[in-house]
Amino acid sequence: MDLTDKIALITGGKRIGAVVAAALAGRGVDVCLSYARSRPEAEQAADRVRAAGRRATTIQVDLSKSYACETLVNTAAATLGGLDILVNMASVYSPKPFDDLVVEDWNAVLDVDLRAAFLCARAAVPHMRKRGGGRIINFSDWVAKSGRPRYRGFLPYYVAKAGIIGLTEGLALELAADNVLVNAVAPGPVVAPPEFTDEEFTAVEQATPLGRWGGEGEIAKAVLALLDSDFITGETIRVDGGRHLK
């Protein structure tokens, strides 16, 4: 896909989402970023897009509400004049022991991490069809892509991210005739959580064959590579520095 003058919606305008938005702007893409609570970060990301000479807008949304997904997509398309690219990046990531899990915890994760990705894709497809095709990039996780859970306390998250892989494959088949290519990125040790101690940071480095954290830019590179391709669909690409090998 030639990215010049294309229009993208990124769900999640913080940290990695902000770097992906800037990378897209650098390739000539106008960007809408959604956020739940991180308005300052989303606005900063939008400013970076504008600094690159592209249009940007931000939309506050609660993606745990099913109706909000369609509203978000349609508002983004109406504001920027269409939609070519959807990046489903919004995610809930909060540990909780199995014995403490209740249905509300399950829904809080699955509704955002999996259901919202489907609902946003469903709303985006009609806009992409009008423009002759498009790209959908979902976000899974290196653990789910590796096919086995490694960390206790993340049951709903693991299930949701495994579901994203299935969603990506199924959507790729359903939408191939519309020239809508659907792929996923499965990040590994890219950016350390803010609460990580120095010891935890170092332990991850030592467990990663490349011996370092990747940084947000590696995810942006993977997203751009998938957008550039006209013949990759239904794939989930790990970006984990070889972490799955150990």
SS3 string, the chain, reads: CCCCCCEEEEECCCCHHHHHHHHHHHCCCEEEEEECCCHHHHHHHHHHHHHCCCCEEEEECCCCCHHHHHHHHHHHHHHHCCCCEEEECCCCCCCCCHHHCCHHHHHHHHHHHHHHHHHHHHHHHHHHHHCCCEEEEEECCHHHHHCCCCCCCCHHHHHHHHHHHHHHHHHHHHHHHHCEEEEEEEECCCCCCCCCCHHHHHHHHHHCCCCCCCCHHHHHHHHHHHHHCCCCCCCEEEECCCHHHC
- Known catalytic residues are 157
